[in-house]
Chain A
């Protein structure tokens, strides 16, 4: 039997399943506890050896649910969400803070989940796209993105929507932007303001004008 004769369901174990298995096996090695870990890392490094990963416990409140994890210190918040909690709505684009696909709300503020470590956020409250709305009860921005066709491939969309939630919150708080003419005046959700405030979220399909329309619609509604 050649590989082509195998039943599809055996071959196609799923890209995501393979990735998860890989991520788990990468951390399934003996690890030192945190106490003395600095010394262990240094001793191994000086000996020219690759030191074993350092594991730490971290509690995260994700979308209102408490999660206790034990993670390699190197785990970004993004990888904790995707690979450990399987909340794959938050996307990994560039993994360097340049594209915004990984945008989540940390204690209510939008951040790039790829550029922060999970262990730095013990006890923090994180909202991802999965926590904003459900298929039956969409967040107003989710509904507006659908109504205005604010996406094509959809990959940047969770980050765009989380970022838009953050942007509208920042406008409500009176935080100025680069294009605000008067630093002393309350900012308005004009298209110019929204374009500037959303510049940390790239869309390779180029759905920008529809994204701005969607956010504008929600910004215009009474809170």
Chain B
């Protein structure tokens, strides 16, 4: 691990200002992903700004009946929150499908959104990776690409976003609330939060330098049947090969997004409009434009079958 200096931030705006004005600065919250990457010198911050003392760790009902989740609410606490279990079950299920209990006790809501890919070539500093070293090339595309993206990738990068939580947040139309160094705030719809890799896979979100996530806001509950199904190489504690987050309403309409297959949660309006027509129609539209490698072509078939299973499960739960 490289040498770094360390400070505790006093306020969110002060944290943002420190991050903007200190070269090589990064925020640290749970640290479960950042420290892993710092040990491998994939992340090499010269300065860490600890935001854990910022009192952004509460969950509150909003004026319009939604839920504002503090950026520092731990994954365990969010999954177990009574309002999340009752009204946003897809989020609770997605959180519980991710990582281990030890990691969920530390990992934060904002940190989960910002976690880096687990592409093995991103992690192997002997390999070319445009995300780790911009312009160095991509060893993954012609390499071992079984866990990697079939949708949304580019000639520069086929890494996936590893989060389960973000897939649920995507179907819940979460808004990501931030503060900037000048104290200005904004809400970024999660649909606009992640950037596709294109030629700049190292730029993963629309966050500006120094911009700090303060909370994630969920609109008022949708009702309906909430399902999160994750398919992985072992029964627990593994990243998704394919995951499906779905909210199916009594009239057969709803929302559906895929995880594990793209650089961001993959949700397509045209596919959702096909929900009343059955899973084949949904899959055809959701997977349109898929560009799998020989290694990961199975993911398209797995996605189709998982979508079918989720829709059948939702129909059965509705009774």
Give residues in A with beta carbon < 8 Å to B: 34, 37-38, 40-42, 45-46, 50-54, 56, 73-74, 76, 95-97, 100, 103, 106, 109-112, 114-117, 119-120, 163, 166-167, 170, 173-178, 180, 183-184, 195-197, 199-201
Segment 27-81 of B: residues with Cβ below 8 Å from A:
28, 30-32, 35-36, 39, 46-48, 50, 52, 76, 79-80
A103 partner residues in chain B, CB cutoff 8 A? 102
B100 partner residues in chain A, CB cutoff 8 A? 97, 100, 199-201
**Bound-complex Cα distance A112 to B30 (A):** 11
B30 partner residues in chain A, CB cutoff 8 A? 116
Shortest CB-to-CB span from B260 to chain A, Å, is: 16
**Bound-complex Cα distance A56 to B50 (A):** 14
A201 partner residues in chain B, CB cutoff 8 A? 100
Contact flag A112-B85 (CB < 8 Å), given A42-B23, A163-B102, A200-B101: no
Asked whether B3 lies within 8 Å of A74 as measured between CB atoms, the reply is: yes
B22 at the interface (CB under 8 A from A): yes
A196 partner residues in chain B, CB cutoff 8 A? 235-236
Asked whether B31 lies within 8 Å of A178 as measured between CB atoms, the reply is: no
B46 partner residues in chain A, CB cutoff 8 A? 38, 41-42, 45, 51
A50 partner residues in chain B, CB cutoff 8 A? 3
B258 partner residues in chain A, CB cutoff 8 A? none
> Which 7 A-B pairs rank lowest in CB-CB distance, beginning with the nearest?
A200-B100, A199-B236, A37-B5, A38-B5, A199-B237, A183-B85, A175-B80
Q: Give the most central of B35, B50, B92, B93: most A CB within 10 Å.
A: B35
Shortest CB-to-CB span from A13 to chain B, Å, is: 27
Asked whether B5 lies within 8 Å of A41 as measured between CB atoms, the reply is: yes
Asked whether A200 lies within 8 Å of B102 as measured between CB atoms, the reply is: yes
Q: Which residue of the partner chain, among A38, A53, A174, contacts B22 with CB atoms under 8 Å?
A: A38
A95 partner residues in chain B, CB cutoff 8 A? 39
A96 partner residues in chain B, CB cutoff 8 A? 36, 39
**Bound-complex Cα distance A110 to B23 (A):** 34
Asked whether B5 lies within 8 Å of A115 as measured between CB atoms, the reply is: no
B3 partner residues in chain A, CB cutoff 8 A? 41, 50-54, 73-74
Shortest CB-to-CB span from B245 to chain A, Å, is: 14
Shortest CB-to-CB span from A163 to chain B, Å, is: 7
Closest residue of chain A to B52 (Cβ to Cβ) is A120
**Sample (30) of A-B pairs whose CB atoms are under 8 Å apart:** A37-B6, A38-B47, A41-B5, A42-B23, A42-B47, A52-B3, A53-B3, A73-B6, A74-B1, A74-B3, A96-B36, A96-B39, A97-B36, A106-B105, A110-B105, A112-B103, A112-B106, A115-B31, A115-B32, A115-B35, A116-B32, A116-B35, A166-B102, A173-B80, A175-B80, A176-B85, A177-B101, A180-B96, A183-B93, A200-B99
Asked whether A42 lies within 8 Å of B6 as measured between CB atoms, the reply is: no
B166 at the interface (CB under 8 A from A): no
Asked whether A115 lies within 8 Å of B6 as measured between CB atoms, the reply is: no
Contact flag A54-B86 (CB < 8 Å), given A109-B105, A117-B31: no
Shortest CB-to-CB span from B299 to chain A, Å, is: 21
B32 partner residues in chain A, CB cutoff 8 A? 97, 112, 115-116
B278 at the interface (CB under 8 A from A): no
Closest residue of chain A to B23 (Cβ to Cβ) is A42
